[in-house]
Amino acid sequence: MKLFQLSLGLFCVSAFCAWAQNADKAAPEADKIIPSYTLEFGKPQKTALGGPGTVMSALHACSADGTAFVEVRDSQSDGMGLMALHSLDREGQSIRFSPSHLPGYMNEMPIRFFAGESRVVALVYATPLKENLSGPMPDDVKLALIYDRKGTFQKAVRLPEDGLEVSAVGLYESGNLLAIGADNRDHSARLLVIDEDGETIREIRLFDEDYNRGRNATEDQLLSGVLQNRSGALGMMRIIPHGKNLLLLPTFTRQPIIEVNEYGIVRAYPLRIPDGFFLGEPLSISMQGWIFETLGSGLKEPKESELKGRVSTLASGPVLVFDPSDGSVLRKIDKPADASGAMLICEHDGEYTALTTDIPDGNLEILKTSVPR
């Protein structure tokens, strides 16, 4: 049974053309026709993931083999109702990444995660166990919990705390970690390369590429006027693997993607994001293009027909495929208007995967389709 239909159109609107006219070398692109595709969802396929009351986080990742990573709160979540990280392969089989017991700590609360080709890292808050029962409760610390791709917990690495608010972590092929966060003094970006014992090997500075210290930093950050967040762009930073290096993805901003190795900046990728839109979650990083969701600058109000208790959310934009060599938009992809509840999570070899929740039983369901590359 064909699960999707695909409609093809051509896309060239003033927002894109105005952006092109203002970009370097972009005058000829003002009239460029950008291919536009619309996905039409068909019958979903149920997974074993989820149940009554299941809630998905907006954070997700897609590895090079097409495995998706999502955060879910379900019947297996602890009494605090926290999200748990799961992988979901292309056949719908899931693996849960959660230690049954973390020696020396309690009350782990997830913050971000990193999905590598061989290992997965979860950044969490945790409370150290008290050494003296009559003493005060210790302050929370941040840990990098390292797993293999089968969900086996390997170790916990305590991250540096002195003058730094770590907001994202990545893992190099060497086994060293990259921790990024805002300096508590001037909110500039600090990148620490850390070994698996938690010792800092070196610090990397972004200098002119610093996300929070640039001339237009506030204007280029979607949440700058909404959240009183000293971390700025670093508060929503994502890190994903890119060969032996790592990519820094400043989601919720219009700022460049930066590639770093263990010694410093490799290069910056300024994407030509159309006016009125901001970088959203990544769906794929491949030779055929870098695929991202986008966000609008306004709020989307829930419809009267939607479930009670729904709140306003950030307006979503189209999915855009970028050419990283010059940042230009290669194509635009839309979800159908009647599939607002489906969340795109992955693209692999032209196949797009979305997740939605079955209303009666809460199980997550997979939607798939293919788009010409």
Per-residue pLDDT, 222: 72
Measured distance CA(245)–CA(170) in Å, rounded: 10
CATH architecture of the domain with range 49-315: 6 Propeller (2.120)
Q: Per-residue pLDDT tens for 110-125?
A: 999 999 999 999 999 9
Residue 229 pLDDT exceeds 70 = no
The pTM for the full model equals 0.84
SS3 180: strand
Most confident listed range (77-81, 108-112, 321-325, 357-361): 321-325
Helix, strand, coil % in the chain, rounded to nearest 5: 5, 50, 45
Q: Euclidean distance between the first and final Cα of the chain, in Å? A: 22
- Region 86-97 average pLDDT: 89
Residue 256 backbone dihedrals phi, psi, to 5 degrees: -65, 150
Residue 18 pLDDT exceeds 50 = no
Cα torsion at 295, 300, 305, 307 (round to 10°)?
Answer: 80
Per-residue pLDDT, 61: 94
Per-residue pLDDT, 310: 45
Which value, in Å, is the radius of gyration of the alpha carbons in the chain? 21
Q: Per-residue pLDDT tens for 67-82?
A: 999 998 766 655 555 7
Calculate what percentage of the chain has a pLDDT beyond 70. 79
- Region 257-273 average pLDDT: 96
Looking at the DSSP bridge assignments, the partners of residue 35 are 10
Q: Are strands 177-183 and 164-171 parallel, antiparallel or unpaired?
A: antiparallel
- Region 304-327 average pLDDT: 72
Per-residue pLDDT, 41: 76
- Region 228-252 average pLDDT: 86
Per-residue pLDDT, 17: 38
Per-residue pLDDT, 25: 42
Residue 228 pLDDT exceeds 50 = no
Q: Per-residue pLDDT tens for 135-180?
A: 677 788 999 999 999 999 999 999 998 888 899 999 999 999 999 9
Closest to 68 measured CA to CA, from 87, 55, 83, 85: 87
Contact in structure between 129 and 159 (CB atoms under 8 Å): no
Please report where in the chains the tokens 């809460």 appear, as a residue: 362
